[in-house]
Amino acid sequence: MKRTIHFTLVVLLTAILTMSCQVEDPSNVTVVKAGLLIDGTGNPPLRDVLIFIEGNRITQVTQQEEIPPGATVIDASQQVVMPGLIDTHVHPGDRANAGPSAEYRASVIQHLKQALDFGVTTIFSLGLDPDSNFALRDESWGDDFDGSRMLTAGTGFTAVGGHPTQLGTDLPNQIDDPALARQRVQELAAQGVDGLKIWVAPIGGLPVIKAEVSRAIIEEGHKHNLRVFAHLNTAEDTQTLVEAQLDGVTHIAGDSYEEETIELMRRQGTIVAPMLVQKKKGLVFSEDRELFEDPFVRRVLGQELDELKEALAQTSPEALERMAQSYQQAKENFVRLKNAGVRLAVGTDSNTSFAPVGLITHKEVETLVEAGLSPMEALVAGTRGSAEWAGVSDRLGTIEAGKLADMLILEENPLVDIRNTRKIVKVILGGRVVE
């Protein structure tokens, strides 16, 4: 009899302890019921999944558990859940007025909100940020900020008089001396940048940053545990910087990569954000004029959509043909990178011509599929791959326990039609639904 009582007590205590370990306070728990989960890892999608969230973090992803009484439930049982998109190359805000003004700050926030409306939950502002953007970067990671999370490279590096100074900005560090470059890297590291940007861009005969300066930036950046990214237009410059241990390539080269370069990128784990939409430019919208009639796109972009339509109308057939040729050349390089197993990410150079913030991220994902990726591969590039590129894969990029709860609920399956990434029902940022 004593043995029976003792056994019963053990069972009851075990059950109580198990319940208390699972959920201490169900009222602090949110559960997303996913009809189909694409978790960003590249693993096959799962049906009928429960995603448990406490605070701003995912605590469990399971097909086994019951929903505890008192938990908040987000019902996506007839829909698709995927991680929020991450764009590794954005230039938010009115760059003509970059600085500490309230007007400039408002223009950056507007772009962060616009990105989030399109399901881009994190952006990397790559190289044209005044000092005032550091505080805004920090603010964007708060639990009550209604815009995408922002990472910043502060001010990037170029040659004296090099690209992009011809666009009227004096923000880039114009440096021709390796020692000065190292000093500036140290200053940026002290400011708390999330990475470093180098422009190596022989555009219109402008000066190009010296290879020894780029090497110094990469070496000094790595001493401070900073990832280093470079805008690279040519295969030769790509080879030079990859040999110097560059972490990320932004812009695919317009001429053909050497096999040696591709193999080195694969072996070193260099991540490439090809930015094919920057080769297609106006062709992106010429080929998809239905976008101009899309109610969701119209609601988010407003007047910007009309300006985009007018810019396209002013683009000559000859210019569109040049864009098509540029894209085909880049596509050949891209296919070789893909076939070699080089790691890929999504970047867009958005807030430049024919690149509206948020929308163009979806168009890049679509273009990656057009160029040869499977829908799953393109989604991984835009989530986990971009998080790895940016150095934040410990926090973002996949729907897994321990990650920040940034995710999209979609009406239709993007594995069936990649354009379904735009059929957004809800955006969840840090565990809360953003209206």
Q: Residues 270-300: pLDDT tens digits?
A: 999 999 999 999 999 999 999 999 999 999 9
CA 414 → CA 95, 107, 309, 423, distances in Å? 34, 31, 26, 9
Query: What whole-number distance in Å separates Cα of residue 373 and Cα of residue 341?
Result: 12
Question: Do 77 and 101 have their domain in common?
Answer: no
Q: Which amino acid is at 80?
A: V
Domain that holds residue 67: 2-82+429-434
Task: Answer yes or no: is pLDDT of 15 > 70.
Answer: no
Question: Do 78 and 95 have their domain in common?
Answer: no
Beta strands, E only, 130-226: 149-152, 157-158, 173-174, 196-200
Query: What whole-number distance in Å separates Cα of residue 213 and Cα of residue 175?
Result: 8
Domain count, the chain: 2
Q: Estimate to the nearest angstrom the gap between the alpha carbon of 122 and the chain centroid.
A: 6
The model's pLDDT over 118-159, given as tens digits with 9 standing for 90+, comes to: 999 999 999 999 999 999 999 999 999 999 999 999 999 999
In this prediction, residue 1 carries a pLDDT of 41
- pTM of this prediction? 0.93
Question: Do 76 and 176 have their domain in common?
Answer: no
On whether residue 419 sits in a domain, the answer given is no
Question: Do 187 and 200 have their domain in common?
Answer: yes
The model's pLDDT over 415-432, given as tens digits with 9 standing for 90+, comes to: 999 999 999 999 999 999
CB atoms within 10 A of CB 346: 30
Query: What whole-number distance in Å separates Cα of residue 77 and Cα of residue 74?
Result: 9
Question: Do 54 and 99 have their domain in common?
Answer: no
First vs last Cα of the chain: how many Å apart? 60
The model's pLDDT over 363-391, given as tens digits with 9 standing for 90+, comes to: 999 999 999 999 999 999 999 999 999 99
Pick left, alpha or beta for residue 300 (phi over 0 → left; psi -120 to 50 → alpha; otherwise beta).
alpha
What CATH number is associated with residue 14? 2.30.40
Q: How many CA atoms lie within 13 A of 236 on its CB side?
A: 4
